[in-house]
Each structure stands twice: as structure tokens, then as C-alpha cells.
């Protein structure tokens, strides 16, 4: 509370990047879809801009500034920054730094042609004042129905919304009805921000190795993410699913793999696979577990985002970036 009041009062203490800067964050504790939003933004902006992603690197065992390379470990840089780098490779730069100001300054010093920075999970990082701030809230657990910690799951009081420039309601049903849309707009309109709605699109399941199942009927789902429920519900529409759930950012071990394989051996009889998320696979790969899993039908699934008014959102974003 005191932290936010300080920056509300002394706004000149916040660093304003000299290049276009877009922050993605939330009021709630995790699970609002920040990583997919960063990937969506990067996919859009790499077409016409030189961009970088700056993250604190949640869960890493290192400290300070590190430019992320594709072959680094998640324990060194964090699973999400490593995922960003593996997705985009040389198309953009990724760095981790608890001190976002230092991260931006070091990266722009190394790469002067960078014209836009995407700030991952920086809504509460008041030492930075982004040029444009995107606030995410989920359809199932909107911030306007929640309370600050410890009574609820909000990182700060709701009036922090005033620092945002765009509000996106994430993880909406595919068939979002007009009644629900109007309900959200009514509750959010008092903040006087543009409001958009997004839903998850699950991409095709792809094998990690050469063990392929032609007709998948049974799935052992293995996750270490904040909110696996939407994925589980999606899969259960078409498959028989058994779910093994680990904590968010979980670092898998050989013992875990042995436990998973034991479950798999006793799960269904045939036409079965082990499925994990793209984000989880970064941690599997990093912990050198390939030799333990490459003889079983392991698959991964990634996600994309779909917006109710993608053209309108892109226009807002492009107008901001062009001016900066």
C-alpha cells in the first residue's frame, strides 16, 4: 500500500523508457494469461519493429541482468523468458532483470536499433512508467469481484486500475454471449478504459519425439502451470483424461518422470499419450530429462489468442507505437 502511494505521489520517481514501451500485467495473483499476451504482441510487432522482451525471470536461481539465449536453463533465466526466446529465436531479444530500468538501458545500449520493449508482468513495478499499460483480468475471476490479499487474491486495491490504458478480459468462453459481455462492460466502464475480450485457442497436439500415436483416445495430462482447468475442460470434450497436477513453475525431476510413467502404464490400455504444455516442456528439456521420456508417446500443446475486436486493439497499439 505504502509502496503504491509513494509512486502515486512522486510520479517523477518512475523511469519512462525513451522507446515505445508496453507493459502487460494484472491485479490478481497469476493465471490471467500474461505469457500468451506477450507472445501475441511479439508476433504482431516483429513484422515491422525491432522489439525486445524484458522480464524479471520469475523462479530463476540467478540474480541481476542476463540476456536470454535459446540454450540457457530455466533455472538461470526463468521458464517464461526462456519460452519466449525458444518461440522467436533471433527474431527478437529477451532479457531478465529484476531492475527493469537497468534491463532496458543495457539492452538498448547493446542493440540501439530496438524500437519497442514489451514488459512482462510489470504492472506493480512502479519504478518503470510504461508508455502503454495493458491490464488483464480473467472471465471467471474478474478483479472487480475480488479483494486484496489476504482477504482475496489481488496484489493491490482495485483503484490501481487507473494506471492502465487498456483492459482485456481473458479466458472468455468461445461462445461469449452478449449478456455476459454487457455485464463486464457495465462493471468496467467506470474506469474509462478501452475494453477487449479474448479467448484461448488450443493448437494441435504435437509429438516431442518419434513415438507417435495415430488415433489418440486417452490422455495423461501433466501440468505445472497456474490454471490448468481450461485446458483440462477442453480436452475432456473429446478424450478420456487423467490429470497429474504440479505447482506453477514446477521443476520436474527423474523421480517425477518415473511416477508419471507408472501412472501411464496403468492408465487405459491403448491409443494413449502423455500430454504437457509448451511452457512445461521448457522445464522438461532444461532438466535434461530427454533420455527418460523419449521412449514414451510424449506430446505438447501450445495456445494462441483470439480477440473479439482484434483490429481495434491493433489500431490502438499501432497508434501508440507510431507516435513513439
Residues 6+ apart with CB under 8 A from 295: 209, 211
Mark whether 185 and 85 lie in a shared domain: yes
Find the DSSP H helices in the chain.
Answer: 2-9, 34-45, 74-77, 79-88, 100-110, 178-188, 229-236, 254-265, 278-286, 290-293, 310-323
Whole-number Å distance between alpha carbons of 98 and 100: 6
Mark whether 60 and 156 lie in a shared domain: yes
Q: In the prediction, which pLDDT does 150 show?
A: 87
Q: What is the CATH number of the domain that holds 235?
A: 3.40.50
What cell was used for 181?
Answer: 459481455
Q: In the prediction, which pLDDT does 3 show?
A: 59
- H helix and E strand count, the chain: 11, 14
Q: What is the CATH number of the domain that holds 117?
A: 3.40.50.300
Per-residue pLDDT of the chain (324 residues; tens, 9 = 90+): 565 565 455 565 678 899 999 999 999 887 899 999 999 999 999 989 999 999 999 888 899 999 999 989 898 999 999 999 999 999 999 999 999 999 999 999 999 999 999 999 988 787 889 999 999 999 999 999 988 888 988 888 898 899 999 999 999 998 889 999 999 999 999 999 999 999 999 999 999 988 999 999 999 999 999 889 999 999 999 999 999 999 988 888 889 999 999 999 999 888 999 999 999 988 877 657 777 888 899 999 999 999 999 999 999 999 999 887
pTM of the entire predicted model: 0.91
Whole-number Å distance between alpha carbons of 271 and 293: 17
Q: In the prediction, which pLDDT does 291 show?
A: 78
Mark whether 245 and 132 lie in a shared domain: no
Contact at 8 Å (CB) between 51 and 92?
yes
Q: In the prediction, which pLDDT does 286 show?
A: 62
Mark whether 24 and 146 lie in a shared domain: yes
Q: In the prediction, which pLDDT does 251 show?
A: 87
Mark whether 234 and 313 lie in a shared domain: no
Task: For the sheet with 218-223, list strands across it.
Answer: 206-207, 298-301, 272-277, 218-223, 240-245
How many structural domains comprise the chain? 2
Mark whether 213 and 120 lie in a shared domain: no
Q: Is the dihedral of CA 56, 151, 153, 130 positive or negative?
A: negative
Whole-number Å distance between alpha carbons of 41 and 44: 5
Domain of residue 252, residue span = 206-301
Contact at 8 Å (CB) between 41 and 81?
no
Residues 6+ apart with CB under 8 A from 26: 32, 34, 121, 123, 135, 136, 137, 143, 155
Mark whether 236 and 196 lie in a shared domain: no
Amino acid at each position: 500500500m505504502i509502496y503504491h502511494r509513494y509512486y502515486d505521489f512522486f510520479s517523477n520517481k518512475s523511469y519512462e523508457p525513451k522507446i515505445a514501451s508496453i507493459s502487460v500485467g494484472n491485479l490478481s495473483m497469476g493465471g490471467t494469461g500474461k505469457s500468451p499476451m506477450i507472445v501475441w504482441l511479439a508476433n504482431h510487432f516483429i513484422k515491422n519493429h525491432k522489439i525486445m522482451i524484458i522480464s524479471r525471470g520469475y523462479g530463476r536461481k540467478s540474480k541481476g541482468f542476463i540476456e536470454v539465449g535459446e540454450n540457457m536453463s530455466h533455472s538461470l533465466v526463468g521458464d517464461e523468458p526462456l519460452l519466449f526466446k525458444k518461440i522467436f529465436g533471433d527474431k527478437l531479444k529477451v532479457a531478465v532483470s529484476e531492475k527493469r530500468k537497468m534491463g532496458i538501458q543495457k539492452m538498448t545500449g547493446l542493440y540501439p536499433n530496438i524500437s519497442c520493449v514489451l514488459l512482462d508482468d510489470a504492472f506493480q513495478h512502479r519504478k518503470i512508467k510504461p508508455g502503454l499499460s495493458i491490464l488483464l483480468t480473467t472471465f471467471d475471476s474478474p478483479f472487480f469481484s475480488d479483494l486484496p490479499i489476504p482477504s482475496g487474491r489481488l496484489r493491490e486495491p482495485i483503484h490501481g486500475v487507473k494506471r492502465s490504458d487498456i483492459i482485456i478480459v481473458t479466458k472468455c468462453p468461445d461462445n461469449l454471449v452478449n449478456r455476459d459481455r454487457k455485464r463486464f462492460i457495465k462493471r468496467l466502464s467506470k474506469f474509462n478504459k478501452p475494453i477487449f475480450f479474448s479467448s484461448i485457442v488450443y493448437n494441435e497436439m504435437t509429438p516431442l519425439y518419434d513415438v507417435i500415436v495415430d488415433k489418440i483416445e486417452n490422455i495423461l495430462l501433466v501440468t505445472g502451470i497456474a490454471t490448468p482447468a481450461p485446458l483440462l475442460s477442453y480436452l475432456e470434450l473429446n478424450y478420456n483424461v487423467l490429470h497429474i497436477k504440479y505447482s506453477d513453475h514446477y521443476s520436474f525431476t527423474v523421480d517425477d518422470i518415473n511416477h508419471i510413467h507408472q501412472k501411464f502404464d496403468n492408465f487405459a490400455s491403448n491409443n494413449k499419450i502423455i500430454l504437457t504444455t509448451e511452457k512445461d516442456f521448457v522445464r522438461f528439456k532444461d532438466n535434461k530429462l530427454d533420455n527418460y521420456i523419449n521412449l514414451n508417446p510424449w506430446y505438447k500443446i501450445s495456445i494462441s489468442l483470439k480477440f473479439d475486436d482484434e483490429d481495434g486493439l491493433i489500431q490502438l497499439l499501432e497508434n501508440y507505437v507510431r507516435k513513439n
